[in-house]
Structure 1
Amino acid sequence: MGIEMLMTEKPRNGTAIQEFILEGFPAAQHLGILLFLVHLLAYVASLMGNMLIIIITCEDHRLQTPMYFFLSSFSFVECCFITTVIPQLLAIFLSGRQTISFVACFTQAFVFLFWGATDFFLLAVLSVDRYLAICKPLHYPTLMSPRMCFFLVTVCFVLGFLFMSIPVVMLSQSFYCGPNVIPHYFCDFGPLANLSCSETRSIEMLFFNLALIVLFTTLLIAIFAYSNIVATIVRLPSARERQKAFSTCSSHLIVLSLMYGSCVFIYVKPKQASRLESNREAALVNTVVTPLLNPVIYTLRNKQVHQALRDALSRVKLHR
């Protein structure tokens, strides 16, 4: 009964489609092998960089602090995030187009959005962590206890699931009668909403509002935290202390700028169909460039991590 009602909303010949075709980048098909190699290297480098952060944080007791716990959680989410879409992109570069089933497509859309939303909640938690460490140093050990750190990360995962599951499940109930070519390299909410034969305006507005809540709530938390951090750093008496504090915060701010810039461009607009081409290019920044840069600009340039890596290499040489 529900399907028949949806079909009558927007009459169109054809039956419900069972699969989608991911178009990828038609204009760059002649560069398929080259693009495959470039993005494969970026993918492997991203995985290795983020996995290195996780391993070194677990192995070195000096890095078992709230900040590095959150950073290792962030790196884990980044690994899952890029693995959701990059293997699909690599397959498209080799084959030109890629077929994906209806269920697999919506599963990919949900998992991608879930990891993405969780990323932003973790960035907000990292902002709060730096705020407490710099602005409330005497209360920091009590406020950021191991139990509280684990609770905050769990909340990030739960919120990411709740915020993204509702619109994706609602969209999956829409009727798709064709065409079935998605002008993207993975299944994202906007292209799927654009292909639906049903009226999806209310679902798109719901997704738009949820995206606004996720992006701007976490952004406001970050702005509040870093406004107070800057005010506190400026008052520090030692130039060395100011430089150290600014160094830690600047890495976080670079990551924030890259992630918020690309995601606001892609998702924070009510009508998704108008910019699908530009969304596809912007998504490359979000899924390839930012995860590749994160380990470098966020942690691997940190002196504590450098020392931990040197010590780990020394232990390996001794065992040999």
Structure 2
Amino acid sequence: MAHVVLVLVETVNDYLPLLEREGFELILAPTPSSRAEAIAEHGARINAVLTRGPLGLYAEEIADMPSLLIICVIGAGYEHVDLQAASNRGVVVTNGAGANASSVADHAMALLLSLVRGIPQADAGIRRGEWNKLRQPSLAGKRMGILGLGAVGMAIAKRAANGFDMSISYHTRQERHDMHYTYCKNVIELASSVDFLIVATPGGSETRHLVDTAALYALGRNGYLINIARASVVDTQALIDALAKGKIAGAGLDVFDDEPEVPDALKLLGNVVMTPHMGGQSPEAAEGTVQMVVNNLLAFFAGQPVLTPVRLPEPQ
């Protein structure tokens, strides 16, 4: 009998045949209404769920799927997956850490280049018939700080160091001794020592508002913030205030608190470049993330350890 996978994601349909070719039965439910209907109708048969961090999977949904054995999250973040409920039921959780790292790192650098070099303003000016040669800073030789040095953070560091001769500093919960980058013991120390602060850490309660007013002021008037991680890591109102008051030079944002809603205050600011949470969206990343799901599911149902397990709390 084929294992049944409930697919909640809406961005990888072209690569779902990778799952079907391995014999998995798919139930597609990419909207809130279809999700509820699918769980109500097929909950007893569902063995696995494919979701994203922002879409999550909640305790009541887990309870309504008595045959659920494994939750596979596309991407590194799993902030809206109820890990306690999964642990209580003995459900395994995996994520896609590293599968889209190259795409996200490329996007981080694209945001940084666009922001610092004033590309959107120059393009808009030409379209208005203007010829304003903006004098914008160079990236070469600058100091980059990375908050979170996982697969994405490492990919960004590699591009910045090798491509732009930047010095790299970072902050994580624990210092890494397998690299030569400079470790900072907290976010304030990191922000105060760099020109560009890149947010690349997972979301969730442990990282909520790590970048607050104090961190932004430490970054300073000539500093730039890029967030390609989760909006919750940055205090949005503090960021808006800092941008409006010129306390930092600018921000590049790919993530927002209430996606797809974006605060009007951000839209009105000229020192912000924004994209619609597309950093991890590329054909290569989509195929890679689905293939990782396939590999995790095949390992799990073969009784082998999954490749990218998420650490769960103790059952209660």
Give TM-score scaled by structure 2 length: 0.24
Higher relative strand content:
2
More relative contact order, 1 or 2 (CA 8 Å, 6+ apart) = 1
Higher relative helix content:
1
Considering only CA atoms, is the larger Rg found in Structure 1 or Structure 2? Answer: 1
Give TM-score scaled by structure 1 length: 0.24
